[in-house]
């Protein structure tokens, strides 16, 4: 049993002038190499002599791996404006400053720029091959605008980004009539090394256009979609997908039912699948299509997901890890029905996660658990302890609580949570698999 408490915290930041700041920042990023001219740039807060003299003795109290993860989280979050918070980290000590600078050189943000700003950025990059070789992630945010800037960037930056690993498109309305006829050829030339495609709040005219974008990235192994939709639905099955099927190491599909339908149609092969969709029948079809390759599955249930039909896991015989995420723990009954109808001989780990505990006291958590019918607990306990899951080694319950700092001490303890759960799953508890 695991309990995660998050202290709510307000973050400031104004993104109105983001495109100007990003352009200035891109042009200041150490184009000269080792002399690090960015230290003198006005877009980066300067370290005072007292700050510069700080040693790692203060920060080393935390494991290096931990504070590096904190910095990486802030740098990788290109949805919220974390620049003010990151500048604070840069001032902590030389080690933190160096880590921030190192990560900044790997990222290129193209946010809300007009065509003039785009050309200026492109010219800066083309004159700085060292900077281009350092870039690993390119992020476009266009505020529900046309994909023209993406096409322009691809045309001008062909074979200029040899180490790019991730391409992110946010708020884009993909309109082919506004793009170069050979835009997907240029996408291949500019992003041939990309292995991860991230799409958020993006609209495609059809599944065919979406498929051409996917096909334009020959090394694609990770597909991450949030709120991705198609204006038209058409049959995309063709001999090219049959002869060269799409293999994905990871697919994370959130509120993107159209993408799920596309992947079913082309017969995708996925190793790790994470889904939050409304159409559970479609999800069952995707699990069936990828059954042979599927080793990890995470399914999210919300109040918008109907209780029926259930996700059919019958053919997922190679599944090793299964996770159920609930916005409301009452949905545990739905998971009980899914598990009782399946037989997964290779399943080793099962996780239940509830992420909507807005009150974290012991009494509130107990009341929420009591809202789940006793028959659901009994079915899960009996099913997982029987012959349907012979390889099962670990069942984890994780409750994520959001609490203000003033009430952190009131959060239910892991010992109390374990006591509540063990009484509801006596067989799993007795076997030592309930952890």
Low-confidence ranges of the chain (pLDDT < 70): 1-61, 77-86, 143-145, 235, 237-240, 303-309, 356-358
pLDDT of 145? 65
Give the whole-angstrom CA distance, residue 319 versus residue 313. Answer: 9
Strand partners, 349: 321, 394
- Please report whether residue 341 resides in a domain: no
pLDDT of 435? 85
Give the whole-angstrom CA distance, residue 282 versus residue 258. Answer: 9
Strand partners, 402: 6
* pTM, two decimal places: 0.81
CB atoms within 10 A of CB 64: 12
CA nearest 310: which of 340, 347, 289? 340
Give the whole-angstrom CA distance, residue 11 versus residue 346. Answer: 44
Residue 435, SS3? Answer: coil
- Please report whether residue 267 resides in a domain: no
Q: State the residue range of the domain holding 36.
A: 17-106
- Please report whether residue 84 resides in a domain: yes
pLDDT of 115? 84
- Please report whether residue 68 resides in a domain: yes
Q: What is the tens place of the pLDDT at every residue in 164-196?
A: 999 999 998 888 777 778 899 999 999 999 999
- Please report whether residue 62 resides in a domain: yes
pLDDT of 144? 62
Q: What are the CA-CA distances from residue 185 to residues 119, 134, 172 (Å)?
A: 20, 23, 19
Average per-residue pLDDT for the chain: 81
Number of domains the chain contains:
1
The two structure tokens encoding residue 258: 């159209």
Which spans in 91-182 are helix H?
94-106, 115-126, 129-134, 148-156
- Please report whether residue 435 resides in a domain: no
E strand segments, 242-379: 247-254, 269-276, 296-301, 321-326, 349-357
DSSP 390: T
- Please report whether residue 55 resides in a domain: yes
- Please report whether residue 147 resides in a domain: no
């Amino acid at each position: 049993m695991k309990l995660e408490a998050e202290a709510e915290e307000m973050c400031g930041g104004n993104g109105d002038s983001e495109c100007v700041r990003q352009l200035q920042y891109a042009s200041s990023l150490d184009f000269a190499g080792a002399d690090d001219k960015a230290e003198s740039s006005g877009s980066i807060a300067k370290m005072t002599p007292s700050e510069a003299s700080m040693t790692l003795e203060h920060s080393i109290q935390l494991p290096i791996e931990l504070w590096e993860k904190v910095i990486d989280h802030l740098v990788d979050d290109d949805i919220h404006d974390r620049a003010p918070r990151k500048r604070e980290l840069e001032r902590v000590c030389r080690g933190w400053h160096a880590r921030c600078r190192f990560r900044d050189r790997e990222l290129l943000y193209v946010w809300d720029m007009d065509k003039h700003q785009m050309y200026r950025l492109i010219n800066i990059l083309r004159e700085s091959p060292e900077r281009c070789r350092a870039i690993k992630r390119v992020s476009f945010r266009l505020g529900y605008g046309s994909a023209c800037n993406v096409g322009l960037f691809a045309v001008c930056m062909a074979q200029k980004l040899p180490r790019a690993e991730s391409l992110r498109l946010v708020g884009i309305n993909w309109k082919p009539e506004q793009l170069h006829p050979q835009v997907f050829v240029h996408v291949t030339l500019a992003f041939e090394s990309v292995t991860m495609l991230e799409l958020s709040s993006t609209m495609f005219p059809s599944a065919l256009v979406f498929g051409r974008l996917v096909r334009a990235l020959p090394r694609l192994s990770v597909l991450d979609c949030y709120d991705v939709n198609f204006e038209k639905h058409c049959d995309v099955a063709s001999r090219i997908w049959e002869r060269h099927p799409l293999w994905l190491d990871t697919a994370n599909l959130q509120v993107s039912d159209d993408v799920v339908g596309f992947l079913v149609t082309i017969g995708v092969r996925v190793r790790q699948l994470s889904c939050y969709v409304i159409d559970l029948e479609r999800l069952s079809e995707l699990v069936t299509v990828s059954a042979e390759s599927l080793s990890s599955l995470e399914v999210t249930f919300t109040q918008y997901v109907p209780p029926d039909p259930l996700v059919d896991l019958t053919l997922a015989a190679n599944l090793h890890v299964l996770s159920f995420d609930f916005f409301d723990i009452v949905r545990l009954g739905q998971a009980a029905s899914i598990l009782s109808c399946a037989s997964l001989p290779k399943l080793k780990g099962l996780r239940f996660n509830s992420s909507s505990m807005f009150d974290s006291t012991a009494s509130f958590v107990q009341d929420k658990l009591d809202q789940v019918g006793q028959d659901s607990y009994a079915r899960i306990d009996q099913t997982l302890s029987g012959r349907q899951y012979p390889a099962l080694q670990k069942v984890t319950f994780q409750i994520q609580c959001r609490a203000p700092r003033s009430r952190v001490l009131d959060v239910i303890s892991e010992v109390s949570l374990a006591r509540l759960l063990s009484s509801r799953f006596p067989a799993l508890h007795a076997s030592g698999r309930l952890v």
